[in-house]
Amino acid sequence: MNRIKTDLCIIGGGSGGLSLAAGASQMGAKVVLLEGHKMGGDCLNYGCVPSKAMISAAHHAHAQTHSAAFGIANHTPDVDYAAVKDHVAFVIAAIAPHDSVERFEGFGVNVIEEYGEFISETEVKAGDTIIEARRFVISTGSSPFVPPIDGLDSVDYHTNETIFELRETPSRLIIVGGGPIGMEMAQAHQRLGVPVTVLEGDRVLAKDDPEITAIALENIRADGVEIEEGFKVTRVTSENGVTVEAEDGRKVTGSHLLMAVGRKANIDKLNLDAAGVKYDRAVKVDDSLRTSNKKVYAIGDVAGGLQFTHKAGYDATVVIKSILFGLPSKQRTDHIPWATYTDPEIAQIGLTEAQAKKKHGRDVEVLRFKFDQNDRAHAERRTEGLIKVMVYKGKPVGASVVGMRAGELIQPYALAIANGLKISALTNMVSPYPTMTEVTKRAAGQYYAPRLFESDRVKKIVGFVQKYLP
C-alpha cells in the first residue's frame, strides 16, 4: 500500500474539483485529485455539454422549418438521429482535453484515477494508495435520482447518463419530470422529429416565475410537445413498449422512457462515517462549506442547495481562500443565476416577483420590459419575451427573463447583484444598437420613468429653468 502526504486532497474531478485543483496547484499547494470515473464529471459527459450540443442540432432543424417569414422556403429536414449523437460525441471530445488527466498533471496535480474512500478523519484510500492530507474537499457531484416506481425495474429506461448514447430514433419518447432537464430534452427531441410527452407530478418548471414560464411553454407546446401536469406516476409497464400510469387513471404509452425527476448527491462511496462527516441526503456544510470535520469541506452538488456547474466553480473560489490562505470566507447564493435552455430560454437571478414581495412587501418595485419593444428582436422575428426586475431601495434584488438569449441577458443583473450596485448602474450602461442587451437597460430605465416623466415636481423645475435660463 502506497502512502502520500499532501496539502490538499480533492475527491471528485467534476467542474468544482477541477477548478479547485487547478487554482490551488498553480498557487503552490501540493494537490492530489481523485477521480474514479470520468474527468469533467456530469457536466462534460452527461449534462451541460451534450445537452447543449443536442439543443444546437435541434435549433438548426427547427430553423429549416420556420424560415418562410424571412423569404426562404420552409424545408422539412432529414434528421439522422444517430448522426446527431455523433455531433454530441464530437463536442464532448473537443472539450475533454481541457478536463483531461494530462492537463491537470501539467499543472502539477497528482491525479489518481480511483474512487476515494475515507478510512479515518485524516486519511482517504484510493485503490492501493492512502492519502493523508491537511485538508480534504469532497466534490463528487450528483447523479440522476430514480424514484421507486412500481414496475420501473422491469422496463428499459434512460436517464441523462444514457440518453445521449441512444442511437435509434424513438417513435415516441416519454419524459417523466418537467424540470429543466426534462423540458430541454423534450423540446430538442421534438424538433429533431421525435414525438414527446412530458409527465410532471406538479407544475412544469415550477421553480421559475409562472408568468415567465408561460411564455416559454407556449412555444414548447407549439413545437408539438405534449405536457401532462399533475401526473403523479404510480406504475410503469412494458405494455405496447412502455406505458406510464398515473394515480388518477391516466395512461401514456411510448417507445422509450427518460427519467428526469431530479438529482441525488454522490455520497455512497465516501464512507463519511469514518471521517466524522455528518450528512443526510447531501453532505452537511456551514456557510464556509466546511463539514463537521474541520479538515473536510464539500462543494458543488454534493453539498446540496443549488445544483449548477457554475455554482460548483463558485464554491471552489470560496474554499480556496480558507484552505490556502487561512482567510475567513463564506458562501452566498443570492447572486447565483441559472438558465434553462429551452427556446425561448429562461433565466433567473435572485428573488422572483413572488419571493421579493413576500420578503420586502410593498417596498418592492417590479420593472417590466417586453421584447416586442426591442428593434433587434423584431429583426430576428423573436419578439416573444419579457424581462422583470425586482428593485428594493434602489437596488435590484432579482431578475427574471424569458426570450432569445435570456442566459446572456441575465448577466448584467448578475454583475449588479453580485456587487451590490444600484439600478442606476444599468441605466448608465450604453448598449450598442441594435442588440438584445438593450432590453436589460430599458428594463432598468423603467425605474426612473415615473420619477421623471410623471412627476409634477420635475415638470415645475423644468418649467422654472426654461423660464429663466438665459
165 appears as a binding residue in the annotation: no
The angle that helices 180-191 and 210-222 make with each other, rounded to 10 degrees, is 20
Q: Is 182 annotated as a binding residue?
A: yes
For residue 56, list its beta bridge partners: none
> Percent of the chain at pLDDT above 70?
100
pLDDT in single tens digits along all 470 residues of the chain: 899 999 999 999 999 999 999 999 999 999 999 999 999 999 999 999 999 999 999 999 999 999 999 999 999 999 999 999 999 999 999 999 999 999 999 999 999 999 999 999 999 999 999 999 999 999 999 999 999 999 999 999 999 999 999 999 999 999 999 999 999 999 999 999 999 999 999 999 999 999 999 999 999 999 999 999 999 999 999 988 999 999 999 999 999 999 999 999 999 999 999 999 999 999 999 999 999 999 999 999 999 999 999 999 999 999 999 999 999 999 999 999 999 999 999 999 999 999 999 999 999 999 999 999 999 999 999 999 999 999 999 999 999 999 999 999 999 999 999 999 999 999 999 999 999 999 999 999 999 988 878 888 888 888 888 888 87
Does 142 count as an annotated binding residue? yes
151 is in an annotated binding site: no
Instruction: Report whether 403 belongs to an annotated binding site.
Output: no
With b for 16 or more beta-carbon neighbours within 10 A and e for fewer, the 85-115 pattern comes to bebbeebbeebbeebbeebbeebebbbbeeb
- For 76, residues 6+ apart whose C-beta sits below 8 A from its C-beta are 64, 65
Domain 344-453 in CATH 3.30.390.30? The answer is yes
Among residues 45, 301, 15, 40, which one has the least CA distance to residue 163?
45
The set of cell numbers assigned to 201 is 407530478
23 is an annotated ligand-binding site residue? no
**Contact between residue 204 and residue 216 where contact means Cβ atoms under 8 Å apart:** no
pLDDT tens, position by position, 236-272: 999 889 999 999 999 999 999 999 999 999 999 999 9
Q: How far apart are CA 99 and CA 97, in angstroms?
A: 5
- For residues 30 and 6, the answer to whether their CB atoms sit within 8 Å is yes
**422 annotated ligand-binding residue:** no
Q: Is 330 one of the annotated binding-site residues?
A: no
Give the domain ranges of the chain.
2-143+264-325, 152-262, 344-453
Q: Residue 469 has what pLDDT? A: 84
Entry field: residues in the chain: 470
Q: Please check if 179 is assigned to a binding site.
A: yes
Is the backbone peptide bond immediately before 344 cis, with ω within 30 degrees of 0? yes
Cα separation values, 147 from 36, 106, 234, 249, 259, Å: 25, 41, 10, 19, 9
Q: Are 292 and 312 in contact (CB under 8 A)?
A: no
Q: Comparing 2-143+264-325 with 152-262, is the CATH topology the same?
A: yes
- Specify the pLDDT at position 415: 98
DSSP string, 174-224: EEE--SHHHHHHHHHHHHTT--EEEEESS-TTTTS-HHHHHHHHHHHHHTT
Residue with cell 460525441: 89
Is there a contact between 126 and 46 (Cβ–Cβ < 8 Å)? Answer: no
The answer to whether 211 and 198 have CB atoms below 8 angstroms apart is no
CATH no., domain 152-262: 3.50.50.60
Q: Is residue 326 marked as binding?
A: no
Cβ(12)–Cβ(83) under 8 Å?
A: no
Distances (CA, A) of 291 to 18, 95, 118, 269, 321: 20, 32, 14, 17, 16
Kindly indicate whether the domain formed by 2-143+264-325 is annotated with CATH number 3.40.50.720. no
436 is in an annotated binding site: no
pTM for the model: 0.94
DSSP 31: E
139 is an annotated ligand-binding site residue? no
**pLDDT value of position 130:** 98
* pLDDT value for 434: 97
The DSSP secondary-structure symbol of 168 reads S
**Comparing C-alpha atoms, which of 186, 180, 169, 164 is closest to residue 49?**
164
Instruction: Give residue 183's pLDDT.
Output: 98
pLDDT at 87: 98
Would the CA dihedral through 56, 60, 62, 63 be positive or negative? Answer: positive
d(CA 458, CA 455): 5
Residue 116, marked binder: yes
**Whole-number pLDDT of residue 145:** 96
- To the question of whether residue 177 is assigned a binding role by annotation, the answer is yes
Q: What is the pLDDT of residue 464?
A: 86
Tens of pLDDT, residues 380-421 = 999 999 999 999 999 999 999 999 999 999 999 999 999 999
Q: Is 181 annotated as a binding residue?
A: yes
Please indicate if the annotation marks 38 as binding a ligand.
no
Cα-flanking dihedrals φ and ψ of residue 155, to 5°?
Answer: -125, 155
